[in-house]
Structure formats: C-alpha cells, structure tokens
Amino acid sequence: MRRGLAILLALSTAGCAYYNSMWSAERYAKDARRAERRGQVSEARSRWAQAAVKAERVVIRHPKSRWADDALTLQAEGLARSGSCDEAADVIKRVHETVTDRELLERVALVDAECALDARQPQAAEAALVPALASKDDSRRSRAEMLAGQASALRLDYDAAVGHFERSRETAARPARVRVLIAADRPTEASRAMQSLTGPEFATDRADLLTRLAVTSGAPAASAALDALLARGKHIPLQEQAQLLIADADRLFAAGDYAAAAAGYRRAAQVAPDATSEAGLANLGTQRVLLTGAKDRSDVKPIEAELARMSLEPGAVSAKRLLDLVRQATIIPEALAAGFRAAELARDSLAAPALAGALFLEVAGRDTASLYAPKALVAALPLLPEQHDSIVGLLNARYATSPYTRAFYGEPSVAYVAAEDSLARELGVQIARATVVFAGARTDLPIPGPRGPHLEDVEAARAAGRARPANRPAAAAGRDRPPPTPTGPDRP
C-alpha cells in the first residue's frame, strides 16, 4: 500500500508540474497577444520568449503527454515571435514532421510565414500560408491575410497587398494598408484610409505615415491628410496633435511655403499644452518664418528680442542656437570678410533671402574696389529678383572686366580661379584644389552657397557632441559641398 501511494504521489506531482508549466506558457502567450494588439512590440516579444521557455520545458520533460504537440507548437510560436527565427526553424520542422492536428498546423504555418518574411522571402511565406488562409478560424485567417499582404508588398504587388490587408482584422493591417497605398502612389485613398487611425495604438504610425506621404506626394498632400485626420481624431492627445502640426509646418517651411508654415505653427501653439516643449517649438517656428520676410536689420530686432526672451526659458536650447545665428548675421562687421560671412549666414542658416541680399549689397557698397564687391553683387542677384536689372547694370558699368562678371556671363577663366583662391584665403577657408589649372581651362559659373551652417545641422552636431576639427577654420564650418563647382569662399 505504501509503495502504491508513493507511485500515485509521484504521478500526481509530475502531473502538477506538467500542468503548471503548460499553464504558464499559455498565460505568457496570452499576454503577448494582448501586447501585440496594443502595439507594445517590446513587451510582446518578451512575453513570447517566456512562453517559448515554458513550452520547451513541457516538450523535454513530458514528450509523450497528450499536450506535447501543443507545447511544441507554442514553442515554435514563442521563438519566432520573439525574434528568434533561427532557433525556431528546427522546431517548426519537427511540428511538420510529427503533428497531425489541423489547428496546430495552421498556427505553425503562420510563424513559418513570419520567419520567411523576416528573411525577405515572400514566395516562401505565401507557400507557408496556404493552410492558414483557408482556416475556418477567423483569427488565424485574419492574421494570415495580414502576412499575405506583407508578402505581396515585398513583391511590389500593391493591389494584392491592399486586398489582403482589407480582409484582415489585425490592428497592424490598417497602417500597413496605408503604407502600401502611399507606395502605390494613391495619395487620395491613403489619406482616406489614414482617417481611421485615431486610436492610441496608432500614435507612432500617424507621424510615420504623414512623413511617407510628404516624401512621395509632397508637403501639401501630407498637410491635407493631417487636416482630415485631426478633424476625425478629436480624441488624439493635444500634445501629439501639436507634434504632428509642428512636423507638418516644418515640411511646409522646407518646401518654401512660408504662409502655410506660419499657419501650422500658430495652430500648434494653440493646441500645445502650456509650458511644454511643443509650445516652445511652435513659437520658435513662428520666429523662423518671420525671419524669411526680414529685409534689413531693423526687421530682425523684434525677432531677436523674442528669441532672447525664449532663450531664458528652461530647456530652450533651440531658441538659444537660433538667437546666436541671428546675432552673428546681423552684427555690423568691421571687416568685409565678416560682412560676407554674415550675409551667407542670413541666406543659408536663417533662410532670409531679402536680408541676405541687403547684406551682400552692403558688402559691395562698403569697398567698391574690393574683390568682394563683384562677387557680393553676383550673390545678391538670385536673392533680390526685383533689383535684378539694376544689379546687372552695376556689374556691367563698374566691373565689366571682373572675373566674376565674366563668369556670370559664362566666361570663367584662370583669373576667376585665382580670385576665388584669394577670397578663400582671406575668409580663412581651406582651398580644396591641389592641382594647377592651366591656361585656357574652364571653370563653372559661380553659384553662391550654400555654406551654412544650417540650423538643423548645428543642432544635430551639437546634440551628438561633435566638435569642429582643430585644423578646420571657423569660417569653413557648415555644410561642405563637393567639387567640381568652385564658388570661391563658398568652396569647402
């Protein structure tokens, strides 16, 4: 009797251990699926990894149990969906060899397809999905449709991909469908589909999709899509709305649509919660737009005052950087080289063409006999189109024989190259050319700038903690441009 009781106790203990391991594995898998639905990718992968460990324990310790096939299938799912497709391959193979249950085979077909997609093998994924696409289970069939859509998108069959995503009820299928519509150059449909992405689980997708739409269809298309999205998504958090509006205004600003950009920054300032970084960035964007319309130093004074006020606020790093550039561009220089540099800053860093043009004309007028004078006039030409005829007339009358005037008319020469080198030395710019230009050699028409530093470049460089190399003069800092187009002081 004692021996029989011991055997029963051992069996009971083993059964409890088996049950506990399988229960834990299923619980982790359930948590992983819930995290996937919420868009919590990292959390989902962590839970799938834990499910795989628990399921493997059941497979090893209880290979003949009635739930061994379930454990083996769950192990394959856990490994694949936690990002360990290499380890999952052998387990998937074992499932195909030993398991006969249709439900389990459909489940492993899904993870087999996921791993094929991870390896960018769309044909293999589509072959693996055949049983799951015909499943009687709605959830498995829905996931299979989403994976089939991803496979079609990899093959650039966008029509098929859209159809698969439309038939899927997976959360991830909705933004995936919008991405395919954008890639297929169907912006109207993409914008319409984007309007349904108003839930909190789509916060990351919204910004990404608008950026993609701007790249393929232009900033105005992305702006229109954002307006439609915000009209439908009134429950999108105000801070995120401000972020989306600022990003949209930045795109419009970069495209040169300053009026629309200003409107976007104002809207962002209205919805941004007080004392947030979004409120500060919206105001900063407004000041950048105002700079584009500045025509002289007096126009910049109120902008400088506002930037100085903003720079005193906690965390106003961007305002301080812009303020520093504004002061460098509007300082009254003692040397012509400094004046030329200030004009370049206004043109390239502040995107203030009228101000830059006025500063270039100021350089040309301070010393009419300087090498800077004709080059400054050429630099002012594209910035002040309303003064084109008068500037060209001055070039012809006063500097008809200047290498810069001749280059303006398409007649570059050795004298032009020599003048460029002389200006480069005076500005402190290193001369990139190491070879001698022989008589008769032609150079390109001088195209002033850009020579930065662009505000975005300055911010990125400082954020990364990069310092200017010791052998690179301050005047050369900014956006270098590769040869062969030499532009004197503008050359790297």
Task: Tell me the residue type at 405.
Answer: T
Residue 424: inside a domain: yes
Is residue 473 one of the residues assigned to a domain? yes
Residue 71 in domain: no
The count of domains in the chain is: 1
8 Å CB contact between 246 and 278: yes
- Name the burial class of residue 256, with classes exposed (0-12), middle (13-18) and buried (19+) by CB atoms within 10 angstroms of its CB: exposed
Residue 453 lies in a domain: yes
- Taking a C-beta distance cutoff of 8 angstroms, is the pair 205, 197 a contact? yes
Within a domain: 460: yes
pLDDT by residue for the chain (492 residues), tens digit each?
666 544 444 444 444 555 577 888 889 889 998 888 777 888 999 999 999 998 888 888 888 777 889 999 999 999 999 989 999 999 999 999 999 999 999 999 999 999 999 999 999 999 999 999 999 999 999 999 999 999 999 999 999 999 999 999 998 999 999 999 999 999 999 999 999 999 988 999 999 999 999 999 999 999 999 999 999 988 899 999 999 999 999 999 999 999 999 999 999 999 999 888 999 999 999 999 999 999 999 999 999 999 999 999 877 899 999 999 999 999 988 888 889 889 999 999 999 999 999 999 999 998 888 877 899 999 999 999 999 999 999 999 999 988 888 888 888 778 888 877 777 777 666 544 433 333 333 334 444 445 545 555 544 544 554 444 443 333 333 333 333 333 433 332
Residue 116 falls within a domain, yes or no?
no
- What are the CA-CA distances from residue 410 to residues 381, 400, 424 (Å)? 15, 13, 21
Would you say residue 182 lies in a domain?
no
Domain span including residue 463: 332-490
In a domain, 427, yes or no: yes
296 Rama sector, left if φ>0, alpha if ψ -120 to 50, beta otherwise: beta
